[in-house]
Structure 1
Amino acid sequence: MLAHCGGRPEEALRHLAGTVASAPQEPEPYAVLAELWQDRRSELAGVVHDANSLSTVLARSYICFLEGDMDGAALAIGAVTGARPQTAWATAPWFGDERFLGAVSAGALADAAMRTMDHGHELDTDAMRERFRPWFHAIDVVTARSPLPEALARMAILLRACGLIDGSFALCDRADSVERIMLTEVVRAGTWRRLGDPEQAAAAFERALALDPANWSLYLDLADLRAEQGDFAAAVRLVDQGLRHEPAETTLRAAGAAYRARLTGSPADLSELIELAPQLPDDSYLRLLIDHACAGPGLPAELVAAARRSRQAGRG
């Protein structure tokens, strides 16, 4: 293989990745990679473990499997899947192998499942569900032998992303049967929001708060939900509760300013939001807050215009 690629290990890996991409379920390219790794380990080790191109990460996933590092194998194929989910990478023979499914930890498989969603690709289609079928099988096998609540909750996020709502709720229920934790209720809340049921989502956030009452981000989540429903008085109360736990948190302060401006038409609150805008890390959330705030009653037109300019300017 190296001879055909000019003696360059990285080129050999790229060629093998292209072969795997055309038919990930075929065993031959993996056999070639195993032979290449056995013969030229010292030359390939640096390429495989230091570089981050799709081809090297794909090779890393199988080499980790060969070396018995099943957690590393899962994380690498999760990253590859997230980058290009249009290819059914997990149909690789090793991914369904009993050696992998019997040894990969629930935490690593959950991390890998989260990596498959890193780039925001649409997964809720019949074609994607078919490609992700090996992931669903792996989740079934691993959670059966190691039902860790946090891992179950994170895997439930992938099932939700793939449109498997009943399966997502079922994993949350299994997590609760082991131990009730805050994350499980947050995942449930997100699933109810996706289904368009804000009251069920709010109930789940309330249960999450009962489990973790000092978590400021939960107050913000619930406040944002109430704002979506038009209940800005409740949104302000919830943000104020969050600020008692984290008074310097910029996102909470910005949300509070936005929701007070929307509720009362306070120029001071809209001015505070404009001042905080450059510090917010999420442009889409900033735009949402400014849209809410600018709808406040009786706000000066010039201040509203300044707020809208800050929304359009972003972080520049």
Structure 2
Amino acid sequence: MSEGVGDPRLAAEGELSLARLALDDNEVGHAADHVANALATAPSLPDAHAVLAMLLSHPDGGVDLWTVDGEVYVGTALARAHALAFHGEYAEALSLLVSVQGYEPGMAWADVPWVLDSELAAKLDPAELLNVFVQLLKAVPDPCPEELAPGFAPYVQLVRSLVAVHADSGNLLWLASVLTRRLGLLDEATSYAIESERVEPTDRAAIAVGYALRSQGRTDEALAAFERALRYQPGNVAVYADIAGMLGDAGRLDEGISWAERSLAIDPVHDCSLVERHSLLFRRDGAVDDLVAIADLLRLAEPGSHEKQHAAELSDRSRQVWLAGIPDPTEAVINVLDQLLAAEAVSAGGASLTVSALEPPSAFLAFGLAVPGSEVTVSEILPPDPRLPVSLRGSQCRPIETVVWQYDGSVSRPAVAPPGAEGAAAIARVADFGESSGVRARSGWVSVPAAYDHAVLLASTPLEDLLGVLVHPPASPTGAAGDWPGWIRAVQTWACLGIAHHRTDESWVESVRRQVLADLAYGPEDWITESALFALATTAWVDPSARADVAELMGWRLLAAVEAQRERPVTILGSLATVTLATPGLNPDVAALARDILTADDDAPEDQPAGPSAEQPAGRPVERPVEVPKKRRGIFRRR
């Protein structure tokens, strides 16, 4: 690549050279186009403004060399703004600049001499600028990311100058407070807001004080300011919702809920208050139906509507697994794998390992892929047999048609063909998405609906590929041996979410997607059980017609696991309890049982480390088998 290619300043100077040549030929219109290009590339370049001044002084020149009718080029809007300022029409010039700032907020479009001129404030009428600065506030994120702040710095300087000249303008002080608060200048924002309320006591000014103090963590003072706002305007339910949210952020959940309920007593359908109430109730009580109620509100809202701003409230701030992402595996064979890799005790010949009881086949798959050539021997298979579809009280719960694992004794093998190359690649892409997708990293998501929406990319992937990848995972993108367990769990989860998008035109109860996911959930005990149950729960989040059915499927599957746990270890039981609690419309007794499982697990003493110590050799041959002790849990207690 030639030196200088891609350098904005050099590109702009090239445009200006062409503009000067066009002027020499009296091609004023062409010259104007090149100046616009230069400004769009390097908006503060002094030579660009000098050539623009030459065009404005030309007999055939003037502001109308750059028109803004219809779809407007950024450079054209900038050139016209500077031309208007050249003629003293500052309000219209600022309006154009602000519109460009909103289009591309990361650029310092206003970092030009006339905006930064300390004398400009005295030439401006605050009343004429009110709409301009309201337009500016729409362009400033709340809060503004650090990388965007420099683009708004010239406006902050202008606002400071305006406040110094027009210190009695309550509107201007209010605007200054909002702008500086969003840019993180909190002391300044608080000062402007307090002065705004002193100059012009209004609910808007008091709210600005409340927001500024809230941003500083001064909750009680902010509450007093919001209460003053309600004295100015008692029926402002938005203020009630703001108070509820602030108190929730301060950990004062009961108080926050009370304020949200007071708001709903005034306006029972106020969206902000509904969302705050449900969000705070979930944070206090942990009942997922409150998050689902928010999801329902958002699902019914019009695109671009006010309600859509509440999407962040669907995030579980505690980062509970399955609501926020995939839990880590707990199997003994994975614990051994971690120890071997940490001790760098894996030889080229693999490892020989004996476990006392059968564990999920996906765990053995992960061990084998991480340590190729390994052998895992199972001492015994305890009843109820985890290789078979689940049973309850000795009888099978439901018929199973789709099975992806088969067993030869204690050795598992895939019961379905590998996925096609295109299908495997599609699933791997979805499972390995990046932060920029707006969802989250590989093993997590911002919210359950976000995970469901991301998986729509697999809606056209053949069902046989979605099933095949469950037991024939594509290569881990990192290539690290220790990443295999997490990668397999991610692939299985996203594949099951892909199945949830299969033939969505079919009614839920008779659908193929329900039949397949239920079969996977009730089939041989495995990590796939967890993934299928999560896909069922996710479907219930987005499809109210599926909720009762999914809640029943979830409840019986958990009960089957509890019964099995009374006789043998069920390594996935904790995860099943957590995914159950992520399911809408649960029977209260099922929800209580799931909570008891997790509470009993939290109260249980730590297991002794399983498998070889870091000092023991793990490569083949091994002097003696490594015996992994059985894991027993206590009897579950009821509340």
TM-score calculated relative to the size of structure 2: 0.40
Larger Rg: 2
1:223–1:236 contact (8 Å) kept in structure 2 = yes
The CA RMSD measured in Å over matched residues stands at 4.1
Partners of 1:67 and 1:52 lie apart in 2 by 21
Partners of 1:232 and 1:75 lie apart in 2 by 43
- Cα distance, 1:159 vs. partner? 2.5
Q: 2:157 aligns with which of 104, 114, 136?
A: 136
Deviations 1:211-243 (CA, angstroms, capped at 9, x unpaired): 222111111111111111222222222112222
Q: 1:12 aligns with which of 34, 49, 58?
A: 34
Q: 1:32 aligns with which of 43, 50, 54?
A: 54
Deviations 1:162-189 (CA, angstroms, capped at 9, x unpaired): 4433332332233123211222232233
- Alignment of 1:291 with 2:313, yes or no, is no
Match of 1:64 in 2: 84
1:258–1:293 contact (8 Å) kept in structure 2 = no
2:44–2:112 contact (8 Å) kept in structure 1 = no
- Alignment of 1:221 with 2:242, yes or no, is yes
Q: Which amino acid aligns with 2:110?
A: W
Secondary structure at 1:39 match in 2? coil
Match of 1:23 in 2: 45
Match of 2:515 in 1: none
Which deviates more from structure 2 when the two are superposed, residues 47-56 or residues 147-156? Answer: 47-56
Match of 1:198 in 2: 219
Partners of 1:289 and 1:98 lie apart in 2 by 48
Q: 2:173 aligns with which of 130, 152, 156?
A: 152
1:185–1:207 contact (8 Å) kept in structure 2 = yes
Which structure: greater strand fraction? 2
Which deviates more from structure 2 when the two are superposed, residues 286-295 or residues 192-201? Answer: 286-295
- Cα distance, 1:153 vs. partner? 1.0
Q: 1:309 aligns with which of 438, 445, 448?
A: 448
Deviations 1:238-281 (CA, angstroms, capped at 9, x unpaired): 11222233322233223323333444555764553342231465
- Cα distance, 1:2 vs. partner? 8.7
Change (3 A) 1:111 1:284: closer
Match of 1:76 in 2: 96
Match of 2:117 in 1: 96
Secondary structure at 2:43 match in 1? helix
Secondary structure at 1:48 match in 2? coil
- Cα distance, 1:205 vs. partner? 2.2
Partners of 1:60 and 1:227 lie apart in 2 by 47
Match of 1:54 in 2: 74
Map 1:105-184 → 2, pairs under 5 A: 105=126, 106-108=129-131, 110-111=133-134, 113-114=136-137, 117=140, 122=145, 128=150, 132=153, 135-141=156-162, 144-145=165-166, 147-184=168-205
Match of 1:302 in 2: none
**Structure 1: segments with no counterpart, 5+ residues:** 296-306
Aligned length: 301
Partners of 2:225 and 2:453 lie apart in 1 by 33
Match of 2:251 in 1: 230
- Cα distance, 1:117 vs. partner? 2.1
2:282–2:288 contact (8 Å) kept in structure 1 = yes
Deviations 1:52-101 (CA, angstroms, capped at 9, x unpaired): 33212212322332454322112222334453555363432365274664
2:40–2:74 contact (8 Å) kept in structure 1 = no
Partners of 1:120 and 1:261 lie apart in 2 by 25
TM-score calculated relative to the size of structure 1: 0.74
Partners of 1:162 and 1:267 lie apart in 2 by 35
Change (3 A) 1:177 1:187: closer
- Percent identity of paired positions between Structure 1 and Structure 2: 18
Q: Which amino acid aligns with 2:451?
A: Q
- Cα distance, 1:121 vs. partner? 5.2
